[in-house]
Amino acid sequence: MMGKTWGKIAEMVAAVQKGEVSARANVEKALDLAERCKNYNIFVNLTRKRALQKAEEIDQKLQKGEKLGELAGVPYVLKDNFLDFGADTTASAKMLAGFVAPLQATAVKKLEAAGAICIGKSNLDAFAHGGSTENSFFGVTKNFKDTERVAGGSSGGSAVAVALGVAPFALGTDTGGSIRQPAAFNGVIGVKPTFGSVSRFGVVAMASSTDTIGCFATNAADARLVMKVLGGKDSLDSTTIDNDFTPRGKQKLHIGVIADFMTDDVDQEVLAVVRKYIQELEKNGNRVETVEMPLLKYALPVYYVVVPAEVASNLARYDGIRYGHRAKTARTLGEIYGLSRDEGFMPENKRRIMIGNFVLSSGFFDAYYLKAEKVRTLIVEEYQKAFAKFDVLVCPTTPSTAFKIGENTDNPVKMYLEDVMTVPPSLAGLPAISVPAGRTKSGLDVGAQLIGARGDDALLLDLAESVENKKLKDKNI
């Protein structure tokens, strides 16, 4: 376990701009760290050749006196469901093994334009279906603290890359907790922005009404800098909105602790750590009260009706005809469809496709999908009611710490219950951040989840940063 190996991103960029360190040196360092961490199974592919080429371009620009971007020379890790040049895009699925992207995702283009350099594509649950990376065709990613435990998912590789210090930041996607949960399990910050804040063009779709693009970082200032680069409208994604991540300057907040997620159903050590973090919020001068949100208990069953329906729709394009895996033994059109999908999808992919097709089928659409969407509206209204009183809501990110590899693989329901606290904000399209709250007695990381009203992403980052700064001040750092 290596730990922190980089300074703050702004300091790194300043060093590159002053010529104190080259972009190439940063990239070589990150690639070396990636090689040293092979046993964690973080990466599906490294983008060594392209990364070094991009670093050389930045160093040459500096020599010519040209202006550099706000992330110049900063290496980063990219979840392998973003289309990118330099390595295959697989979404950690056999279905897409060997797929060469014909274009780059908007998020990747923005980062490259700012001077950030992708050094590798990180492991995930295939097609982002899962919370442990155990559903990856390329094997499980291991927790950075305990290699017998999961990294979380689906963005497990990205979280561990940042936790180990391979790169100062990494990109992930979050549909129902896929950034926040692995962030909590590995002791880093994980940002899920307001729905539509970042373009999803060029990202392999999971569930189109809840998919969001966010990042992992070791501190709130770095996360804010990355999100400011990523955010904004995109003509290639009609769901995008303008969202300002600039600090709000509001000093004292009214914070609501979600009582429904502070119960005996949550691990007692997790509760103790989160309560201590809440005390820190109160010590900083924020007003803290509990709030009851009884409708949130319906969010998980709603999610596992709505999301599989969208998954089934989005995965219908993988048919062995246009692109993706094609079964070699297929002889008829029907066999091409059936065998290719059977061989190309992981068991969890198949489970979600079957659930999705069931709830969308004739005779069940009204009973399941339509009813779930109506309850989803009630959950949105529940949040609106809470935010009429509170600036920010807080609760644990997950009900437990990182579980053992293989512990939940035979129990899908237990695995889904890990998302019970991260799913509600996703259904409502709200911004949510997992921040490191502390550790259990055995040293496992615990995350606290900060939730804001639509567009209040900056406020959550402000709050996270205020706690960080207070801790640093108390330590005289």
Q: Residue-wise pLDDT tens for the chain (477 aa)?
A: 555 689 999 999 999 999 999 999 999 999 999 999 999 999 999 999 999 999 999 999 999 999 999 999 999 999 999 999 999 999 999 999 999 999 999 999 999 999 999 999 999 999 999 999 999 999 999 999 999 999 999 999 999 999 999 999 999 999 999 999 999 999 999 999 999 999 999 999 999 999 999 999 999 999 999 999 999 999 999 999 999 999 998 779 999 999 999 999 999 999 999 999 999 999 999 999 999 999 999 999 999 999 999 999 999 999 999 888 999 999 999 999 999 999 999 999 999 999 999 999 988 999 999 999 999 999 999 999 999 999 999 999 999 999 999 999 999 999 999 999 999 999 999 999 999 999 999 999 999 999 999 999 999 999 999 999 887 777 765
DSSP letter assigned to residue 294: G
269: nearest Cα among 175, 400, 378: 400
Which one is the CATH code of 1-293+393-477: 3.40.50.2300, 3.90.1300.10, 3.10.450.40, 3.40.50.720? 3.90.1300.10
Per residue in 362-400, pLDDT (tens digit) is 889 999 999 999 999 999 999 999 999 999 999 999 999
| 154 carries an active-site annotation | yes
Check residue 471 and give its pLDDT.
78
- For 60, residues 6+ apart whose C-beta sits below 8 A from its C-beta are none
Strand 432-439 with 189-192, pairing: antiparallel
362 assigned to active site: no
Name the phi and psi angles at 313, rounded to 5: -70, -45
Best CA proximity match to 423, nearest among 125, 180, 158: 180
- The secondary structure element, H or E, covering residue 374 is helix 371-387
- 255's enclosing H/E stretch is strand 254-258
Q: How far is CA 408 from CA 163, 288, 314, in A?
A: 23, 35, 26
Could you give the CA distance from residue 416 to residue 470 in angstroms, rounded to a whole number? 35
CB count within 10 Å of CB 412 equals 15
> How confident is the model at residue 251, as a pLDDT?
79
The pLDDT of residue 191 is 98
Domain residue spans of the chain: 1-293+393-477
Question: Which of 92, 178, 199, 340 is an active site residue?
Answer: 178
C-alpha–C-alpha distance, residues 240 and 175, integer Å: 16
What does the pLDDT read at residue 399? 98
Asked if the bond preceding 154 is cis, omega within 30° of 0, the reply is: yes
Identify the pLDDT of residue 1. Answer: 54
Nearest residue to 154 via CA among 176, 129, 137: 129
Element (H, E) at 53: helix 48-63
Indicate which residue of 54, 79, 110, 121 is catalytic: 79
Spatial distance between the Cα atoms of 218 and 222, rounded to a whole number of angstroms: 7
Determine the Cα–Cα distance for residues 178 and 152; give it in Å rounded to an integer.
Answer: 8
pLDDT of residue 303: 98
Furthest-apart CA pair in the chain: how many Å? Answer: 71
Beta bridge partners of 191: 215, 433
Amino acid, single-letter form, for residue 108: V
Candidate list 132, 154, 155, 197, residue with the active-site label: 154
Q: What is the 3-state secondary structure (H, E, C) of 10-79?
A: HHHHHHHHCCCCCHHHHHHHHHHHHHHCHHHCCEEEECHHHHHHHHHHHHHHHHCCCCCCCCCCCEEEEE
DSSP 366: I
318 in Cβ contact with 327 (< 8 Å): no
Compute the half-sphere exposure of residue 56: CA atoms within 13 Å on the CB side of its CA.
6
